[in-house]
């Protein structure tokens, strides 16, 4: 559903509300990306609060400036909250790929309490639809660490196809990990996924 009727919402359903992220969400992002369990499959976490603020602060400022001009920044950040109580459930992003004009990377991280409840799938569908309808994406890409079967299945359910496995591609807490790399050109995405 569109967000009409729910202040600031881009999309919502019976449980979730997705909005553009702003600086007010930094404390929630700090908690999420500082949580070892939430970061168990993220190669870049857990992070210290200063690291989250230093990284996301400028991104959110750039996004706010772009939105004020009626545009989108090259990295569009979102938050997903529980519609019933406003609880922070996670964040997602759509990032322009500078080496592939018209292609965008999608990604997200969720609080562990909502894992396995369909939040990732619904947020993922929103990210795909946003990239295609708002940014006119020619194609999408995403990645997940080998062994993260939930994310692999979720990305495949979004129509992305495993193209290769990059060996020893990511270093996480002193250990090298393989990473699955997925892509889908616009014409490879399921049309049913692109409809509300």
Q: Is the pLDDT of residue 2 over 50?
A: no
Please give the DSSP secondary-structure letter assigned to residue 2.
B
pLDDT tens-digit map of 3-29: 444 677 899 999 999 999 999 999 999
Domain map of the chain by residue range?
11-138
CATH number of 11-138: 3.40.630.30, 3.40.1160.10, 3.90.79.10, 2.40.440.10?
3.40.630.30
Q: What gap in Å lies between CA 94 and CA 73, rounded to an integer?
A: 10
- Chain centroid, CA 95 distance in Å: 9
Residue linked to tokens 């060996």: 167
């Amino acid at each position: 559903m569109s967000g009409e009727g729910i202040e600031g919402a881009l999309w919502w359903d019976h449980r979730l509300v997705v909005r553009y992220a702003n600086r007010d969400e930094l404390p929630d992002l700090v908690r999420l990306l500082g949580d070892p369990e939430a970061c168990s499959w993220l190669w870049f976490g857990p992070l210290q609060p200063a690291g989250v603020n230093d990284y996301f602060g400028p991104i959110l400022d750039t996004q706010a400036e772009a939105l004020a001009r009626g545009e989108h920044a090259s990295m569009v950040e979102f938050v997903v909250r529980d519609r019933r109580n406003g609880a922070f459930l996670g964040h997602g992003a759509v990032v322009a790929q500078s080496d592939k004009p018209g292609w965008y990377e999608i990604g997200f991280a969720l609080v562990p309490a909502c894992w396995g409840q369909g939040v990732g799938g619904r947020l993922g569908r929103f990210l795909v639809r946003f990239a295609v309808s708002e940014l006119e994406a020619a194609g999408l890409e995403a990645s997940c660490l080998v062994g993260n079967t939930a994310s692999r299945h979720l990305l495949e359910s979004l129509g992305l196809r495993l193209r290769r496995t990059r060996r020893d591609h990511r270093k996480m807490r002193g250990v090298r990990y393989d990473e699955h790399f997925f892509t889908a050109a616009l014409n490879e995405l399921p049309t049913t996924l692109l409809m509300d």
